[in-house]
Amino acid sequence: MAGHSKWANIRIRKGAQDAKRGKLFTKAAKELMLAARLGGGDPAANNRLRQAISYAKSINLPKDKIETAIKKGTGELQAEQLDEILYEGYAPGGVAVIVETATDNKNRTVAEIRHIFGKRGGNLGESGSVAWMFERKGMFLFPAENFTEEQLMEAALEAGAEDVKDEGEVFEMHCAFEDFGAVQQALDAASLAYSEAKVTMLPKNTVPVDAETGRKVLALLDMLEDNDDVQNVYANFDLPDEVLAEMEG
């Protein structure tokens, strides 16, 4: 799954640059609102909010915007009603795609998501059509220059995580979704500085694609991620090295 993980990590790096456009700020604020609405405004008692705050800080969302988003979620400040909706479909090459959205207009969002899939050679599927191919996991990224794999394996065992994978520039530490908060607290207590902590959808298996198909899949995913209602996009494809090199460039 190295090609898939490398693709995901390149997106994370490039995403930090995209924050200048405000896209990631908007997505982070929506997640803060949703987390606070569903679990309350205290991050100590709300793992999802704790994660959302951690992510918001990692992309340098200003403190006042974090606080405002949380207050909108708890109802202290007036805000639009957001609904979380999951869409599933297929990209070119039979690649499975999951799209997480947060929207104030369900009809608009489904029409736009369906249009994007169709325009880029994919198709929107029924609920449950591809979700079974993924597992919801906690994931922590550690810069490879700051850690050894042995050091992180030991930390993972102590924190209750499942495994550590060497993905080149970063190490990925995975844990069960239910253990995310406890593992994060254990890592923080041990002063292990991860570059990002989040809940993600990891594919159980990946589909290898050729360069031409890989570029088509990327075009679909990029268009989905550029949509204002889309929070996260996950796919189960494995890119060839030449396409990964193009992304790096």
**What does each C-alpha distance from 134 to 44, 216, 218, 235, 236 come to in angstroms?**
28, 21, 19, 9, 8
Residue whose structure tokens are 């979620």: 73
Question: Comparing 2-74 with 134-203, is the CATH topology the same?
Answer: no
Predicted model pTM: 0.87
Estimate to the nearest angstrom the gap between the alpha carbon of 18 and the chain centroid: 15
Angle between the N-to-C axes of helices 211-225 and 241-248, in degrees from 0 to 180, rounded to the nearest 10: 40
And the tokens for 157?
């065992």
Note the pLDDT of residue 240: 81
Q: Indicate the CATH number for domain 134-203.
A: 3.30.70.980
pLDDT in tens, 41-68: 999 899 889 889 988 887 889 999 999 9
Domain segments of the chain as ranges: 2-74, 83-132+205-248, 134-203
Residue 114 vs residue 13, higher pLDDT: 114
CATH superfamily of 83-132+205-248: YebC, transcriptional regulation domain (3.30.70.980)
> What CATH architecture does domain 2-74 belong to?
Orthogonal Bundle (1.10)
Taking only the tens place, the pLDDT of each residue in 143-185 is 999 999 999 999 999 999 999 998 888 899 999 998 988 898 8
